[in-house]
Chain A
Amino acid sequence: METNSVATLIALPLALSLAAYIVARLNRKIHPGWLSLLILALAWGVFGVAANEFDREGTLTYRVGMMQLQLDGLSLLTCGAILTLGTLTVIYSLDYMAEESAADKYYALVLLLLGTMMGLVCTRDLFNVWVWFEAMAISTLFLVAFYREQLASLEAGVKYIVQSALGSAFILLGIALVLAETGTLDLQEIAQLNQDSAVLWAAGGLFIAGFGVKMALVPFHTWLPDAHAQAPSGISALLSGLVIEVALIALLRALTCVAFSWGTLLIVFGAVNMLVGNLLALRQTQIKRLLAYSSLSQMGYMVFGIGIGIYAQTLNGFEGGLFHFFNHALMKGLAFLAVGAFIYSLETHQPLQISDLRGASRRYPYIALALSLALLGLGGLPPLAGFMSKWQIFAAGIAVHEPLITLLVIFAALNSVLSLAYYAPIINVLYSRQAQVEMAQGRTVPPMMGLSLLVLSVAIVVIGVYPGLLHGALEPAARVLLTAFGE
């Protein structure tokens, strides 16, 4: 159905981010955080309308000039995840960034980032995928290098922009190849041409490498731990919980036009990512860096699930991968926000070490519990969300009935156990009885930060106990991929 709710959904945060920045700049009395929260509330309203229309009419489209927007099941799910974590991060930041003088810029950039991500998942034009992708990269950069006074932010920013620009050049080269071969850039038109040529294969390879940089596939991942550890905690949550996953969605969109058997390659990348991410996190002592490395391994599970979906044409593979994407957004978001709460309470500007958290549960029982839930969920333990999505991915893998895939599922499960070897010690430190002196005297964590943590904690427990809750949103999204990658 042709409708403008799609366009509004994307345009709203983009246009109003600038407006909010200017308003907050002109009138110092207006809190930019609350203003962005208001904008996000509007966006939720539009999202509700769009979801409702989607329910009745199926895929929604909108054409503006050269731009063709399209809201299908996959975009709806991703937009939902983006708005959920985005809103919670903004609520969290109300207090977290309260003392920051550049708060107006911060909120404007967050809105810009959310808007570009939604644009990215709603486009059906290959070139526009790149445009949105680049816009997302640039708004991300400003947020990575947000603490300008810190040298480490500068370093992370330089590495990020150079590596990301190289990745983006790969993508562009791939697009040029597709254009030369097919003469069009509309994803669906290309898919209907059903061409199979070496040039398109090469384009697909360039896409995987290019988007792989942003998705942090090993060995393209080297920028990620720096950037994710260095950004403000709310941004780390968005980067780890959304940006790399949205890059995965973008890759899948791009690959639909060269939809050959990428399954094997993705499965291998998934397996490598799990192992390397876990091993790099295993001996890590800085907690945000540890969480960043664990994102590599979690990305591995998503890619693994989707790889199985492509390889064996199973809905469960796609659905499991997407389910893990959603759960990871919640769990990794929660982990980063909870760590941020400790950083806030300690008023530290040094990178937080795991040992700094000793005895944190004495002074902050609820935040310690939230962080524990997030970590155990990431480790794939029930009754938490991460367990259920891993189960679905593994179920899809075993159902392929191929010994090699079964072995890889066992390998993935072993990796889950390995990951516990670095998640669990953090929990041990949190629940130590002798509290660190600084921790015992930390300042109180304000209610707004607590609220975000509470919502996320409850969400991962509820999804863990009743995984059917999201089935209605996941199934259409997975079906989009199944159709796109179908024979």
Chain B
Amino acid sequence: MNDEELTLLGVVILFSVGVYGLLLTHHLIKIVIALQIIGKAVIIAFAVAGTMSERVQLAQSLIVTIIVADTMVAVISLALVIQVKQRLGTLDARELSNLRR
């Protein structure tokens, strides 16, 4: 296994960890963290893709964009989570299931 393949394995593991978190945790903050883990996996994936295709420059600029967008999503979702806490007094995602069927 060379470096790139190893890193790719890392990406897959990281991504799976994030998805695993999204699937199983009911805690809203943890859900946001899981999303962040997935985001980081994606960023590393781009870094690897850049090296593999010898477009490091391009990959770097893409990564910067992704980080910005990722942060925005994190900020917004945390803001929503804070409101949930204030209004419902809980961070349990299961409490947020009034809209159904």
Bound-complex Cα distance A166 to B39 (A): 9
Query: For residues 45 through 101 of chain B, which have their beta carbon under 8 Å from a beta carbon of chain A?
Result: 45-46, 48-50, 52-55, 58-59, 61-62, 65-66, 69, 72-73, 76-77, 80-81, 83-84, 87-88, 93, 96-99, 101
Whether a CB of chain A sits under 8 angstroms from the CB of B22 is yes
Range for the number of chain A residues in contact with chain B: 35 or more
A-chain residues with CB within 8 Å of residue B73 when the two chains form the complex: 134, 138, 161, 165
When the two chains form their complex, are residues A185 and B48 in contact, meaning their CB atoms are under 8 A apart? Answer: no
Residue of B whose beta carbon sits closest to that of A180: B49
When the two chains form their complex, are residues B83 and A154 in contact, meaning their CB atoms are under 8 A apart? Answer: yes
A-chain residues with CB within 8 Å of residue B46 when the two chains form the complex: 172, 175-176, 179
When the two chains form their complex, are residues A151 and B76 in contact, meaning their CB atoms are under 8 A apart? Answer: no
Contacts A173-B42, A179-B49, A183-B55: A158 and B76 contacting too (C-beta < 8 A)?
no
Bound-complex Cα distance A145 to B53 (A): 41
When the two chains form their complex, are residues B42 and A172 in contact, meaning their CB atoms are under 8 A apart? Answer: yes
Bound-complex Cα distance A61 to B93 (A): 46
Bound-complex Cα distance A166 to B58 (A): 24
Whether a CB of chain B sits under 8 angstroms from the CB of A155 is yes
Contacts A141-B76, A179-B50, A185-B58: A156 and B99 contacting too (C-beta < 8 A)?
yes
Query: For residues 163 through 189 of chain A, which have their beta carbon under 8 Å from a beta carbon of chain B?
Result: 165-166, 169, 172-173, 175-177, 179-185
Contacts A152-B98, A155-B96, A176-B46: A162 and B35 contacting too (C-beta < 8 A)?
yes
Question: Interface residues of B: mostly helix, strand, loop or mixed?
Answer: helix
Bound-complex Cα distance A181 to B48 (A): 11
Whether a CB of chain B sits under 8 angstroms from the CB of A318 is no
When the two chains form their complex, are residues A166 and B35 in contact, meaning their CB atoms are under 8 A apart? Answer: yes
Bound-complex Cα distance A156 to B19 (A): 21
When the two chains form their complex, are residues A158 and B96 in contact, meaning their CB atoms are under 8 A apart? Answer: yes
B-chain residues with CB within 8 Å of residue A169 when the two chains form the complex: 15, 18, 35, 38-39, 41-42
Residue of A whose beta carbon sits closest to that of B12: A173
Whether a CB of chain B sits under 8 angstroms from the CB of A413 is no
A-chain residues with CB within 8 Å of residue B96 when the two chains form the complex: 154-155, 158-159
When the two chains form their complex, are residues B61 and A182 in contact, meaning their CB atoms are under 8 A apart? Answer: no
Whether a CB of chain B sits under 8 angstroms from the CB of A245 is no
B22 to chain A, nearest CB (A): 7
Instruction: State which of A45-53, A223-231, A251-259, A352-360 sits at the interface with chain B.
Output: A223-231
Residue of B whose beta carbon sits closest to that of A161: B77
When the two chains form their complex, are residues B80 and A176 in contact, meaning their CB atoms are under 8 A apart? Answer: no
Interface centre among B22, B65, B66 (most CB of A within 10 A): B66
Bound-complex Cα distance A177 to B98 (A): 38
B-chain residues with CB within 8 Å of residue A182 when the two chains form the complex: 53
A-chain residues with CB within 8 Å of residue B81 when the two chains form the complex: 158
Whether a CB of chain B sits under 8 angstroms from the CB of A131 is yes
A-chain residues with CB within 8 Å of residue B53 when the two chains form the complex: 179-183
Q: Name B residues whose Cβ lies closer than 8 Å to a Cβ of A.
A: 15, 18-19, 22, 28, 31, 35, 38-39, 41-42, 45-46, 48-50, 52-55, 58-59, 61-62, 65-66, 69, 72-73, 76-77, 80-81, 83-84, 87-88, 93, 96-99, 101
Q: Name A residues whose Cβ lies closer than 8 Å to a Cβ of B.
A: 66, 127, 131, 134, 138, 141, 145, 148, 151-152, 154-159, 161-162, 165-166, 169, 172-173, 175-177, 179-185, 225-226, 229-230, 284
Across the A-B interface, the 10 shortest Cβ-Cβ residue pairs:
A183-B53, A180-B49, A176-B45, A179-B49, A226-B99, A176-B49, A172-B42, A180-B52, A155-B96, A169-B38
A-B contact pairs, 12 of them (CB 8 A): A127-B62, A138-B73, A141-B76, A152-B99, A154-B87, A159-B99, A161-B73, A161-B76, A169-B15, A169-B38, A169-B39, A169-B41
